[in-house]
């Protein structure tokens, strides 16, 4: 930075001296214009280094390329939908969150509904009333619900 300031001051001094000597001639106007361009170049030249030092913009995810790929917001909406069902079932039937998992098939983000909701009960959750859980989810209008049970350490 110190070297840059010294260079700008020296170039400014040379421009002012040259401008002073050119003031009485016919070429004074063109000489001042050329010297102004030199001074402007000297002042703006470090901007390229500054622009190179700036961090690059992040790479945004590419749009889906295949029909089966869902945009990120749809994936997040489906995850939130499953988590909401899980929380509601856990609260209604006094279950631990680790006692069940929820998956969906044919999720529609605009209607916030799924064609099929699969709830897997595990651990102490297998003692819950699976028919009541399925009826509760279907009564909410979220989609057709199937409740399965997992026995053992899988």
* Total residue length of the chain: 154
Which position has the higher pLDDT, 148 or 10? Answer: 148
Q: Quick one: pLDDT at residue 66?
A: 59
Helix/strand/coil for 108: strand
List C-alpha distances in Å: 92 to 24, 28, 79: 95, 89, 20
Q: What is the pTM of this model?
A: 0.53
The CATH number of domain 72-150 is 2.30.30? no
Compute the average pLDDT of residues 94-108: 90
The residue extents of the domains of the chain are: 2-53, 72-150
Residue 36: which pLDDT band, with cuts at 50, 70 and 90? Answer: confident
């Amino acid at each position: 930075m110190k070297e840059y300031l010294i260079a700008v001051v020296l170039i400014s001094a040379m421009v002012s001296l040259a401008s002073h000597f050119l003031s009485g001639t016919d070429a004074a106007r063109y000489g001042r214009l050329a010297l102004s361009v030199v001074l402007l170049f000297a002042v703006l030249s470090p901007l390229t280094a500054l622009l190179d030092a700036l961090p690059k913009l992040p790479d945004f995810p590419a749009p889906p390329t295949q029909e089966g790929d869902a945009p990120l917001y749809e994936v997040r909406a489906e995850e939130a939908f499953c988590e909401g069902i899980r929380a509601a079932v856990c609260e209604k039937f006094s279950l631990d969150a680790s006692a069940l998992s929820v998956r969906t098939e044919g999720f529609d983000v605009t209607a916030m509904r799924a064609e099929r909701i699969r709830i897997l009960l595990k651990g102490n959750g297998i003692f819950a009333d699976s028919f009541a859980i399925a009826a509760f989810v279907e009564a909410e209008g979220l989609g057709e619900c199937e409740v399965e049970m997992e026995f053992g350490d899988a």
